[in-house]
Amino acid sequence: MSVAPSRHALASTTIPLVATPSAGVPLLDVQRQYQTIRREIAQAIERVCDSGRFVLGPDCDQLEQSLARYCQVPHAIACASGSDALLLALMAHNIGPGDEVLMPSYTFFATASAAWRLGAKPVFVDIDPITFNIAPNLLEGLITAATKAIIPVHLYGQCAEMRSILAIARRHRIPVIEDAAQAVGAEYDGRRAGSWGTIGCLSFYPTKNLGGFGDGGLLTTTDAQLADKLRLLGTHGMRPRYFHHVVGINSRLDTLQAAVLNVKLPYLEGWTAGRQANAQRYTELFALCGMDRVVMLPRIAPLCRHVWNQYVIRVPDGRRDALRAYLAERNIGTEIYYPVPLHLQECFAKLGYTRGNLPESERAGGETLALPIFPELTAAEQQTVVREIAAFFHQSGRNS
Ligand SMILES: *Cc1c(COP(=O)(O)O)cnc(C)c1O
């Protein structure tokens, strides 16, 4: 999946095209990573095809064992997507109609849809403006007798403040489900994402740090009983075949995905180191040209090991969209995660939120811009990104 910015360049016809010195920088180029492991991948895929076994199986068992070890938990259960992992986690905690689930509004849609689909009510919590993660100090005021779960999201690859969140949750005896879809390998206080809550949810969507060749997800837990329940719920509540204990769903991992992910997992630490080096280089490059005072750079929070699924800057003064268009003209890929926080989404209008309810989430929606950060990004490409951002502000500074 090469997320090329060219369609944005074509879309904004009002800006005159000028000759640019660079060939552009993609937001994400998964081909570069693939080229380094294509023989191993081909062999793994061929082995699965030869086996004739396409759902679950030994490749899947192997992935579960390696990822359990990687995430520092005794149990891991593969499923069909990160979205399903969230749904299954809430199902395992018997969340249903009348229940409330606390979660950030500034996250991907799947965090909230999982609760909504079970008839529960998402209760949106504002974020910390520095980390973009759920603000622990707001939780207590939103907990009611109906609150049945808290879902912190480890956004962009950095863990939420798990110690404070868990202290509040324990006091109220509310389970914490981690949305670790963007944070495989991230750590808080020396422990991995997915090992803190009752259940952790990972995604193998191709843009994630451990991306498959399609959809996939995984649940982590320290609780053997929950692990068993999650496994049952993800396979139609069936045990043995055609005997159904509970009404589950069909959410199994394809064997091909498991085989691909087994090839990729041993490289993950190296790729993470690449992302961390790129983040560090951006920070230095922005500081060199004084741009760190013009845009707000992402920061590593105390106790965190950041795995940089995204490198997200904040562009103040309503300049974000103009900067994005400027970069698109120069074939530099960027993305906005997320333009509309969930409490203002049309599909959740029934919940009754209005603009102003969650000011930090709304401000983030208007100011954030994700820059290319994938591990194979070159130093020269990063220089291009930073140079063009600086050029935008110099040019618009002259014009205004
Ligand atoms: C990607 C993502 C999901 C959903 O994962 P899928 O595998 O795409 O279903 C959930 N939450 C967050 C925060 C994500 O980034």
Are 105 and 125 contacting, i.e. CB atoms less than 8 angstroms apart?
yes
Average pLDDT on 359-369 reads: 98
pLDDT in tens, 169-189: 999 999 999 999 999 999 999
Is the pLDDT at 3 greater than 80, yes or no?
no
Percent of the chain, pLDDT > 70?
94
Predicted pLDDT of residue 90: 98
User: What residue owns the CA closest to ligand 1's atom 14?
Assistant: 181
Residue 18: its pLDDT value, please? 46
Q: Which atom of ligand 1 is nearest to the CA of 86?
A: 10
Mean pLDDT of 276-291: 97
Q: What is the pLDDT of residue 396?
A: 83
pLDDT at 397: 74
Ligand 1: centre distance to CA 14 (Å): 35
**pLDDT digits over 35-65, tens only?**
999 999 999 999 999 999 999 899 999 999 9
Mean pLDDT of the chain: 94
pLDDT tens profile 129-163: 999 999 999 999 999 999 999 999 999 999 999 99
Protein residue whose Cα sits closest to atom 10 of ligand 1: 110
Residue 121 has pLDDT above 60, yes or no: yes
The rounded Å distance from CA 190 to ligand 1 centre is: 24
Residues of the chain with CATH 3.40.640.10: 33-266
List ligand 1's pocket residues with C-beta within 6 A: 81-83, 107-108, 110-111, 153, 179, 181-182, 203, 205, 215, 217
From atom 13 of ligand 1, which residue's Cα is the shortest distance away? 108
The pair of three-digit structure tokens given for residue 400, joined into one six-digit string = 């205004």
4 pLDDT band, cuts 50/70/90, is very low
Q: How confident is the model at residue 352 (pLDDT cuts 50, 70, 90)?
A: very high
Give residue 398's pLDDT band: very low, low, confident or very high (50, 70, 90).
Answer: low
Mean pLDDT of the 302-309 span: 98
Percentage of residues in the chain having pLDDT higher than 90 = 92
Query: Which atom number of ligand 1 is nearest to the Cα of residue 216?
Result: 7
**Could you tell me where in the chain the CATH 3.90.1150.10 domains are found?**
7-29+267-399
- The residue-averaged pLDDT of 16-44 equals 84
Residue nearest ligand 1's atom 7 by CA: 82
Class of the CATH domain delimited by 7-29+267-399: alpha beta
pLDDT band for position 22 (cuts 50, 70, 90) = low
Which of 79, 116, 179, 335 is the pocket-test mutation for ligand 1 (most atoms within 8 Å of CB)? Answer: 179
What is the per-residue pLDDT for 10?
A: 38
Q: Which pLDDT belongs to residue 337?
A: 97
Does position 379 have pLDDT exceeding 50, yes or no?
yes
Candidate of 203, 208, 254, 257 to mutate for ligand 1, largest count of ligand atoms within 8 Å of Cβ: 203
Q: Which fold has domain 33-266?
A: Aspartate Aminotransferase; domain 2 (3.40.640)
**Does residue 21 have a pLDDT over 80?**
no
pTM for this predicted structure: 0.94
Pocket mutation for ligand 1, best pick of 1, 28, 79, 83 (most atoms within 8 Å of C-beta): 83
Model pLDDT, residue 7: 40
Contact 373, 279 (CB under 8 A): yes
Q: What is the distance in A from the centroid of ligand 1 to the CA of 217?
A: 9
